[in-house]
Amino acid sequence: MTDKRNLEVVIVGAGATGLLIAQGLKLNGIKATVYEREEESTYHTRPREWGMTLHFGQEYLAKCIPPELMARLGEACCDTFYTGKHTSWPMFNGQTGEKFFDMQGFNPLRVSRRKLRALLSDGLDVRYGCKIVSVSQANGSATATFANGSTATGDLIVGCEGVHSYIREALVGKDQATNSPIDVQMFNACWSLPADAALLQRKAHPIFRIGYHPTGMSWVTAIQDVKDPDDPSTFLFQQCLSWPGRPHAEDFPDQQSKIDFIKSKAEIYAEPWKSAGRNVPPDLPLQVDAITMWRPDMDWSSSPLWPHVTLAGDAAHNMPPFRGQGLNNAFQDAEKLVSELSEVAKGDKTLEQAVSAYEEEMKARSLKEIEVSLMQTRMVHNWDTLMSAPMFKAGMNAYRDEVKGNLETASGGEVNSAK
């Protein structure tokens, strides 16, 4: 036993992870302030938007927010009018339109990044326009310094600033903090469609579907927003087209080359992907995302910042997105960290013991999942190995030992370029 403590926690990054940690700490009577690099106006209005699949993470979400906020989870869903429940998402042969199987998951929901942030920021102290430029530790506390000249000091600083985390770099060093490329590229964008094409997108499944193509491509189409459920032309769809190898970002000289690429792939896909690609707006902002990962496979307890600085979410474990695990593992991080810090506040653990216990569990869990997600990434972008991918055994569910025997597949093997 130690003395009870009035902890103060500084959270850097107002993404879903940081906000959920703050909510959980607030629920347990621990002071937490969230610092976000973006200005409030751009934070709420940035044009780029996407959806995420929330499944097993709902369990950890419910432990970190009050029941009245959990009851409002529907506000974060991409289609706030839809009340149906599912236990799976459908997977298709994108060339023929034939359904392969249903990928199982725990009550999977598609949540909007923007709407989820709005929900989880309810009642929190969030400071905007605070881009972190340095972090230091002295006298049993840590201090974050921001580009606007302000500072924040607390017993613990939690880096939740995503895959390009400054705090990760400060904790482990620039070289070790660098993300590793996987050589899979993706367009991830949202656009509306003519009414008939919009209805076609939702015919086989109202929320989500994936089409895998023999050329090694994957195409996700998912509902992103519904303004008027009676007017399909107002539906917004997220379209994620991914492929292994080339073309890379530098291989697209201009906007038209990106549009032409999407339209050309639409012609080799069956419906509804064909209609989606044919109707991509010519002026739609398109970014080629190179998929990366980062493994927390090193010991950073020797850092002069530790145990007063730690990581959570994508900053702690950047996972390939093709098994839908990032958000769910981030929420598990949040619940575990909140639980450990509550023990410190009660005097049952020291901060060092709590952070050590949190990081030990988080690292072991995420390292396993990164390997499974990496295996999935490579296998679903190769027609010859698609049917052996982890989703056929584990679905969207958390890592299980039954897929462990296939992990060696993830450590090697070439991927084919999109023809």
Query: CA angle, 20 as apex, 15 and 25 as ends, to 5°?
Result: 135
pLDDT band (50, 70, 90) for residue 197: very high
* pLDDT tens figures, 341-377: 999 999 999 999 999 999 999 999 999 999 999 999 9
Mean pLDDT, the chain, whole residue set: 93
Of residues 324 and 80, more confidently modeled = 80
Asked if residue 7 lies in contact with residue 28, where contact means CB atoms within 8 angstroms, the answer is: no
CA dist., res. 141 & res. 153, Å (int): 7
pLDDT value at residue 412? 41
Sheet with 180-192: strands ordered across: 99-104, 88-93, 208-212, 218-226, 235-244, 180-192, 288-293
CA dist., res. 311 & res. 103, Å (int): 31
pLDDT band (50, 70, 90) for residue 382: very high
Strands 180-192 and 288-293: antiparallel
In the chain, the domains with their CATH numbers are: 8-77+111-180+293-383+406-411 (3.50.50.60)
pLDDT band (50, 70, 90) for residue 232: very high
* pLDDT tens figures, 80-123: 999 998 888 899 999 999 998 888 888 899 999 999 999 999 99
Other beta carbons within 10 angstroms of residue 359's beta carbon come to 24
Of residues 323 and 13, more confidently modeled = 13
* pLDDT tens figures, 130-175: 999 999 999 999 999 999 999 999 999 999 999 999 999 999 999 9
pTM of model > 0.95: no
Query: CA angle, 122 as apex, 156 and 51 as ends, to 5°?
Result: 95
Residue at 137: amino acid letter: Q
Instruction: Give the CA radius of gyration of the chain.
Output: 22
